[in-house]
Amino acid sequence: MSRERGGSALEFVGIVAIAGMVVAGVLAVVSTANVVEHATLAWCRIVGDGQDCEVKAEAAQDAFERAIRGGYVALGDSFASGEGAGDYHDGTNYDNRDDWDPGNWGDDSHNRCRRSASAYAEQTYAVFDFGGDLTTVYCSGATTEDLHNPNDTNDDEPAQLEALDEDTSLVTMSIGGNDLGFADVLTDCVLNGGSGVLWTDGCQAKWEGELDRRIVDLRADLVELYGQMKEQAPNARIVIMGYPRLFNDPPSEELNNMLFAQDQVWMNGKADELNAMLRGAAREAGVEFIDPTQAFLGHGVGAPDGEQWINDLDWGGPGLSVTDPGSFHPNAQGHAAMAELLQEQLRNPEYP
C-alpha cells in the first residue's frame, strides 16, 4: 500500500511539474490578453477539472478581452480620484480664490478634483494593454448630480457621463458617499461624538435615521444611473467599486483621529450598509460590484505604522481649509489594494 501511495504522490508531483512547465511556456509566448485563457486552460486539461473548467476559463477570457479592447473611462468621487493619495495632476489641485500671491488677485479660477497618479484606475490602466485611452473624469466631492450635470464646484468639469461612448470598453466608478453626506457625519462625530456634549444628541442619534433613509432613497437613483451608463457605453463592462471601512477593528482608543471608539464602530457599520445597498443596486442593474471591505481589514485608521491604508485626520488643509480633505481617505497603498481587486475582477469576473 505504501508503494502505491508513493507512486500516486510521485504521479501528482509529476503532473504539477508538467503543468508548471506548460503554464510557464504559455506565459512566455502569449500576449497579456491571452495569458488568462491559455494558462487556465492548460491547467484544466492537465489536472482534469473537466469541461466546466474550460468553459469558465473561456468565459473569463472573453470578459477580460472585452474590458481592455477599447477605452477606459473612470468616473466617481474622491474615493475614485485618489484624494488623499497625493501626486495630484496639474490643473486638479489649485484654488486661486484663496491664493495670497498678488499675481493671482482677482483670479477666481479653481479646481480641486485632486486626481492622483496613484488612483486605482491609473494603476490598473498601467498594467493592461488597453486598446484605447484612459479618461479620468472623477472628482473629489462629486455626487450623482455631477454625473448628469457640469460640476458647479470646480472649473472645466463637464457632466461625467459625457465621457462615455460606444468605444468605451471599461467603466469604473465609486459614488454615493457624498450623496449620503458622510463628510458631514464625520465632522459631526469629531465635534460632537460619543453621547453628545452640552445636552445635545451625539452624532449617532442625530444621523442614524437620516442615513438609513438616504441609503434607501439612493438605491433607486443608482439603479437608474447604472442603466444610463449601460446605454451610453453599450460595449463596456461596468464595475462599481464600493467603500472600505475607515477605521480599524478593534478601534483605536487614542483619539488621534478625534473620534470615540463607539463612533468608529458605528461608522464602519454604516459603510457596510452602504456597500450592501451598492451591491443590491448593481445586481438589479446588471453591472459588476467590488466590495473592498475584506481587503482593508487591519488597514484602517488606527492600524500599526506602515499597515494603515486610510489617512488619519490631517489638520493641514490646502488654502483656507482647516483640515485636509484627504483625511479619512485611502492613501497610495489603499489605492494599490483597490487596483489589485479591480484587476482580479477584470480577469475573473464575479457578479453580485
| Section 190-202 average pLDDT | 70
Sign of the dihedral through C-alpha 312, 88, 173, 346: negative
Report the distance separating Cα 18 and Cα 145, nearest Å: 55
According to DSSP, the β-strands at 288-290 and 237-241 are parallel
Report the distance separating Cα 119 and Cα 191, nearest Å: 30
According to DSSP, the β-strands at 237-241 and 168-174 are parallel
Tell me which of 52 and 299 has the higher pLDDT. Answer: 299
What's residue 5's pLDDT?
Answer: 33
Distance of CA 102 to the CA centre of its chain: 40
Say which CATH topology domain 70-347 has.
Rossmann fold (3.40.50)
Alpha helix locations (H) across 311-352?
332-347
**Helix or strand holding residue 290 (H, E):** strand 288-290
Report the distance separating Cα 154 and Cα 160, nearest Å: 13
Where residue 10 falls among pLDDT bands split at 50, 70, 90?
very low
Helix (H, G, I), strand (E, B), or coil: what is residue 240? strand
Beta bridge partners of 71: 168
Task: Look up the pTM and report it.
Answer: 0.83
What's residue 24's pLDDT?
Answer: 44
Please identify which residue in the block is written with the cell numbers 433607486: 220
- For the stretch 266-325, pLDDT in tens is 999 999 999 999 999 999 999 999 999 999 999 999 999 899 999 998 876 665 455 688
Give CATH 3.40.50.1110 domain extents, the chain: 70-347
Average pLDDT over the chain reads: 84
What's residue 193's pLDDT?
Answer: 75
What's residue 58's pLDDT?
Answer: 86
On whether the CB atoms of residues 288 and 240 are closer than 8 A, the answer is yes
| Section 71-76 average pLDDT | 98
What's residue 57's pLDDT?
Answer: 82
What's residue 256's pLDDT?
Answer: 62
Where residue 108 falls among pLDDT bands split at 50, 70, 90?
confident
Report the distance separating Cα 100 and Cα 319, nearest Å: 9
Tell me which of 184 and 47 has the higher pLDDT. Answer: 184
- For the stretch 53-68, pLDDT in tens is 777 788 889 999 999 9
% the chain with pLDDT above 70: 77
| Section 78-107 average pLDDT | 82
Residue 86, burial from CB neighbour count under 10 angstroms (0-12, 13-18, 19+): middle
Q: Rounded to a whole number, what is the distance in angstroms from the first to the last CA of the chain?
A: 47
Cell of 177: 458617499
**Helix or strand holding residue 168 (H, E):** strand 168-174
What's residue 114's pLDDT?
Answer: 96
What's residue 251's pLDDT?
Answer: 86
Reference 240, options 222, 224, 217; nearest CA is 222
